[in-house]
């Protein structure tokens, strides 16, 4: 099994890449956006798609 990490800013196409990998190669994905947002807010750093 291979593990691939996809990172990038808001609107950079991460979800599009994931969709392609899932559709073309049957890849499984794990998105951790909610956990990252909660951790950032706990440290008083507001995270939003509008930032």
C-alpha distances out from residue 21 to 8, 18, 25, 36, 51, Å: 16, 5, 5, 23, 28
Kindly report whether the global pTM for this prediction surpasses the value 0.75. no
C-alpha distances out from residue 45 to 1, 40, 42, 50, Å: 35, 5, 7, 14
Inform me whether the pLDDT recorded for 31 exceeds 80. no
Inform me whether the pLDDT recorded for 46 exceeds 70. no
d(CA 24, CA 30): 17
d(CA 24, CA 41): 36
Q: Which structural domain, as residue segments, surrounds residue 51?
A: 1-51
HSE-CB of 11 using CA atoms within 13 angstroms: 4
Domain count, the chain: 1
The pLDDT, as a whole number, for residue 20 is 92
């Amino acid at each position: 099994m291979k593990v691939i990490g996809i990172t990038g800013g808001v609107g950079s196409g991460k979800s599009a890449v994931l969709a392609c990998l899932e559709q073309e190669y049957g890849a499984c994905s794990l998105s951790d956006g909610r956990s990252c947002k909660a951790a950032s807010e706990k440290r008083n750093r507001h995270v939003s798609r509008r930032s």
